[in-house]
Every structure is written in C-alpha cells, then in structure tokens.
Amino acid sequence: MRAFEARNAHFDRLVNTPGLKWLGQNTNHAKPHAAVVEAMERCIRDEEFHIYAPPAGFEELRAGIVADLGLDGQVALVSDGAVSSLYHACHALLGPGDEFITTDPTWNWPMAFARSVGATVKQIPIYGEEYGYRLAPERLRAAITPKTKVIYIVDPNNPLGSACTAEEIDGIAAAARDAGAYLIHDCTYRHFAYEHHLAAKRYPERTLTVYSFSKWLGLAGLRVGAIVAHPDLVERLAAAPPNNLGSSILSQRAAMAGLKIKAEWFPGVLAEQRANQALIKEAADRIPGLSIAVYPSNGNFIVMECGPAGIRPDALVAEYAERNIMIRQGAYHTPNFGDRFVKISTTVPTAWVEELVELLPEMVERARGRNEAAQLF
C-alpha cells in the first residue's frame, strides 16, 4: 500500500473507532456552547449551503478575528483552517532557491509546503534543557542567510508548549526585519498561553499571523481559520487563494457565534485543560524515568519524556491504543528528538485523563516488553 493510502486508512480507522479517546491531536472536546450549535443548525435550516461565502470571509468574522488578536490596522483573510493558511502563505511567498527557517521540533506540514515549491528548509534545534525548549533570537540571527525568505515559528510551540517571551518576540521580529524576511507567526495555541506576544505588533509590514478556530473553539473538523496581515500583504495573498469561492458558510457561522460567547465559555475550557495537565504531571512524577518537559504547558497538550524510563514512545502509544486511547509519539513531530517523548492532549473530558493516568503504570510496564514496531502516523 502506498504511504498516503496507509496513512489515510490509519486515520479512517481512528475516526470510525467507537468510543476512542482523542488525546493525541490537540483537538478540543469540550461541550460546545449552545449558541454555536444553534448558529450551525440555523445555517442548515436556512439552507445557506446552496451559496458561496464571500471570498475573503464574512466581514463580521474578519473583523472579529482582528479584534480578538488586537491587531488594529491589519486585515484577515479567512481560510479553510490554519493549515490551509500556511499552505497558501508558503506557496505565495516562496520559490526555488529560497530558504525557509523554523525550529526543531515544529509543526511539520509548512516544511513540506516549502519544499514543494523548491525552497530549502533549515531547522534550529530547541529540544532540550540546553536550549530551554525555546528559540533564542541570537540563534535565529546566526541561522539567517541571504537566501532566507520566510521564518516560521509556532508560538506556543507545538509540541513543546513553550511560549516566547516579549523580549524573545522583539528579537525574533528584529532579526526578520533586518533580513527583509517574512515572519509567519503561527498562533494556533495562543489562547491557552499564560502570556502571549504578537510579532505583528513589532513587525507589522511582513508578519503573517496565523489564526485557528480548531483548538480554542473546538472546530477542528469544520476547517476554519485565517491569515491576518498588513492590507498590502493580504491583497497579494487574495490574488490567488486556494478557497477563492470562500470557506464553508457553516464553519464561518459557527466561528462568528464562538467569538461572541468566547468570554463566557472559554475560561471554563482553559481551567479544565490546565487541571488535566496537573493530573498528568502528578502521575508522571510518580514513575521513575518519566518527566514533563515543559510545565505548565502554554498549549492544550503536554510533552511527557519517557526515554529514561526505558520505553520507546511508539510502544507506549501502541499500548494505549489497545485501550482505545490515542496519544502521539514524538517522531510525528521530529525525527531527531522523537525517540524521547509522547505528546498528550488536554482539552478533553477529565474522565479521559483520569483513565489515562490510572493506566500509566501498567502501560509503562507493558511498553517495556513490547519489541515489535507499530505503524503510527
């Protein structure tokens, strides 16, 4: 079977597994606010799906995204999810011979998008205590070359959960400006951070802020997000978007309703996921060799290091899979550091996390004795 067929069949099995507990994809399983559900039901009842949405997104949604970020003077281009925004940006801004710089680990797909148009990819290692699990601006400056066209940072970092300080964002934005490079600031997990600082406020002319509704609002399956940037830059991107007939009307109606109830609904989601992180850390601390790399995490996930415990991440993932619990092996994010950790999502019902931590001692022992490699994606 071809690789893409095997990968798709794997996720098809997951989606069609009754009762699967999704603790591996950073998806948000909090009960949605009634207003969001009603907005989608009304959209279907009114049969809005017969028509195309505005090409750049509903004006109300565009304004709401910019207001949520607090980026006055910038504009939003609504997309079919943040990953579509990243695909669009990479294809619009990069070409053969250009250089794309990011961290290791990072979100992998933008690297694939960059390579697909002939750009080269350079990764700066940030995994480990020697780096503080973060990107120092001076290390970014040292990596930049005359060919550097795009700098891409996921902040908070996926999978680590570290978030840039204000001083680090100042330094990263200054390095990008001095290089004349575009800075893609992927803020998918911004809403979960204890503090977050937008590069677009330091470098507005060439920063592209990537916004997602998949994580904070739990709309991963609806695919709606945005790029927010200077009007001149959005004008360039809007010339040839992949969704030139507009993103899903149903998704946009849900997103608009979500922004209206965010202040009422999201604090409860945030509190529950931070409590879930604490449960996982307490359980890991009780088992020799397990540890939490970044705690508390600024994302809706947490990285548990397991190498010193004498187990392979893929073995632990496979053992949990047999109990209908999905967690993610580190190799999904990085071949260089992937043998050190698993990633566990935390915007899930507390009962799921309680089951995960109750099983942890048994899963660790079983993983130690597991020799066969599991096919994971």
**Nearest 5°: phi and psi at 344?**
-125, 125
Q: Which helix (H) or strand (E) holds 302?
A: strand 301-305
Tell me which of 212, 231, 261 is where a domain ends.
261
Alpha carbons within 13 angstroms on the beta-carbon side of residue 48 total 18
Q: How far is CA 85 from CA 106, 269, 292, 308, in A?
A: 16, 25, 31, 38
Domain count, the chain: 2
Task: Note whether 141 and 236 are same-domain residues.
Answer: yes
Q: Report the distance separating Cα 336 and Cα 376, nearest Å.
A: 17
Asked whether residue 276 falls in the same domain as residue 217, the answer is no
Q: Which of 225, 278, 262 is nearest to 30 (CA)?
A: 262
| Domain boundary pick from 261, 281, 297 | 261
Does residue 375 lie within any of the structural domains?
no
> How far apart, in Å, are the Cα atoms of 359 and each of 12, 316, 368?
26, 11, 14
Instruction: Determine the pLDDT at residue 369.
Output: 85
The CA-based angle 90-156-57, given to 5 degrees, is 50
- In this prediction, residues 89-106 reach a mean pLDDT of 98
Note whether 324 and 224 are same-domain residues.
no
* CATH number (domain holding residue 293): 3.90.1150.10
pTM value is 0.97
Domain boundary residue among 216, 235, 261?
A: 261
What is the percent of the chain where pLDDT is above 90?
96
pLDDT for 375 equals 73
> What is the per-residue pLDDT for 377?
82
At residue 61, φ and ψ (nearest 5 deg) are -70, -45
- Contact assessment for residue 20 and residue 326, using Cβ atoms and an 8 Å cutoff: yes
Nearest Cα to Cα of residue 114 among 93, 145, 84, 139: 93
299-343 confidence digits (pLDDT tens): 999 999 998 999 999 999 999 999 999 999 999 999 999 999 999
Instruction: Say if residue 203 is in the same domain as residue 154.
Output: yes
What's the token pair of residue 166? 């204000």
- Strand extents, DSSP E, 105-186: 120-125, 148-154, 182-186
| Residues 86 and 67 placed together within one structural domain of the fold | yes
Higher pLDDT, 376 or 23: 23
Q: How confident is the model over 70-92, as a mean pLDDT? A: 98
Joined tokens for residue 334: 């990085």
Beta bridge partners of 210: 186, 227
Please give the DSSP secondary-structure letter assigned to residue 215: T
- Distance (Å, rounded) from C-alpha 150 to C-alpha 91? 11
Which residues, in sequence order, are CB contacts of 340 under 8 Å at separation 6+?
Answer: 127, 305, 306, 307, 313, 330
Encode 32-43: b = buried (16+ Cβ within 10 Å), e = exposed.
bbeebeebbeeb
Q: Determine contact, residues 153/135, Cβ cutoff 8 Å.
A: yes
Q: Is 374 among the domain residues?
A: no
pLDDT at 346: 98
Give CA–CA dist 259/65, Å, rounded.
8
58 & 120 share domain: yes
Structure tokens at 15: 């989606």
pLDDT tens-digit readout, 98-139: 999 999 999 999 999 999 999 999 999 999 999 999 999 999
* Angstrom distance (rounded) from CA 197 to CA 167: 9
φ/ψ of residue 180, rounded to 5: 70, 25
Kindly list the distances between the CA atom of residue 142 and the CA atoms of 90, 100, 119, 148, 200, in Å, as whole numbers in the listed order: 22, 14, 19, 12, 22
In a domain, 377, yes or no: no
**Structure tokens given for 191:** 């809403």
Q: How confident is the model at residue 30 (pLDDT cuts 50, 70, 90)?
A: very high
Mean pLDDT of 250-273: 98
Name the residue range of residue 329's domain.
3-32+263-368
Inter-helix orientation angle 350-368/249-285, to 10°? 50
